[in-house]
Amino acid sequence: MTTTVLQFMRRFPDDATCLDHLMRLRYGESLDCPKCGKHGKFHRLTKELAYSCQWCGHHVHPMQGTIFYRSHTPLQKWFYAIYLFTTSRHGVPAKELQRQLGVSYETAWRMGHKIRELMAKTDGDDPLSGHVEADETYVGGKRPGKRGRGAAGKTVVFGVHERGGDILTRVVPNVKRKTLEAVILEKVSEGSAISTDELRSYRALKGYGYAHGTVNHGAGEYVNRDIHVNSLEGFWSRLKNSIRGTHFHVSRKHLSSGLIPTFGTHAFWRR
């Protein structure tokens, strides 16, 4: 169930509440002191963003090692920015962060970039398995000339999707066999079933231990029993609608951070 803005504000009314949440999230209600080794509670300091061991007074700084460390932006604004990212269906541009948080554009851009980097690191680390779809798309707006594969001035995005599970995406230089196979071998467990279209770059997948099935889009075939890439096609559609409706344009340099799915609620709020 999605947290509403009012629920968020009631839960995190100030920086002190946010810091307490971060401390519990990282260390729990009590922990073994890194200095004296005794187990116990750490008490909040009034003049420092830290907690003190009840036995020896050693300080723990919960923001150290996070995207909040050494930031002059209030912690509640960081939390609210993360809330926007985890509840938006179409991404959060820097201009929207600037308007909602009351910070400068430069600060909003930096915060958004840091949050996207963090989400990229924490999401999609485990290999995909079961029945996986693999497909590629081209991002870059409408241009005259050839469409689809071979279109000029486009950025190639490759994706793999575990049905009922995660979608992993990567900006790639081309759709050659060597390029796409490298991603599949890294991200998809051996023995998985893989559905793709008829692109020649996928033809050797059975030799790597995958159960490979194809649909021939060129011949108008989009479903062959349980073989299809419709889930990824739907994801590409949502991605492009998000870019058109929110960012208008995303450069190749920053497209990879814009590919992070932000649909649903992030684990950050679950404790």
How far apart CA 33 and CA 60 sit, in angstroms, is 9
Span(s) in the chain for CATH 3.30.420.10: 131-258
Beta strands in 96-154 (DSSP E): 131-139
Q: pLDDT tens across 142-194, in order?
A: 655 555 565 666 889 999 999 998 888 888 999 999 999 999 999 999 999 99
Q: pLDDT tens across 228-257, in order?
A: 999 999 999 888 877 765 544 455 554 555
Looking at residues 36-41, what average pLDDT do you find? Answer: 96
How far apart CA 36 and CA 45 sit, in angstroms, is 19
Per-residue confidence at 262, pLDDT binned at 50, 70, 90? very low
Looking at residues 16-42, what average pLDDT do you find? Answer: 95
Residue-level pLDDT at 121: 73
Q: Do you know the residue count of the chain?
A: 271
Kindly state the percentage of the chain with pLDDT values over 70.
Answer: 82
For 131-258, the fitting CATH number among 3.40.50.720, 3.20.20.70, 3.40.1190.10, 3.30.420.10 is: 3.30.420.10
Residues facing residue 131 across a β-bridge: 193
Cβ–Cβ < 8 Å for 109, 96: no
Kind of pairing between the strands at 59-60 and 51-53: antiparallel
Residue-level pLDDT at 1: 63
Kindly state the percentage of the chain with pLDDT values over 90.
Answer: 68
Of residues 181, 174, 172, the one with CA closest to residue 205: 181
SS3 23: helix
What CA–CA distances, in Å, run from 203 to 83, 220, 242?
A: 42, 19, 32
Cβ–Cβ < 8 Å for 238, 91: no
Q: Is residue 14 over pLDDT 80?
A: yes
Q: pLDDT tens across 55-77, in order?
A: 999 999 999 999 999 999 999 99
State the pTM of this model: 0.64
Query: CA 148, 154, 160: angle at the middle one, nearest 5?
Result: 70
Q: pLDDT tens across 119-132, in order?
A: 877 655 578 999 99
What CA–CA distances, in Å, run from 245 to 9, 93, 124, 250?
A: 27, 10, 26, 12
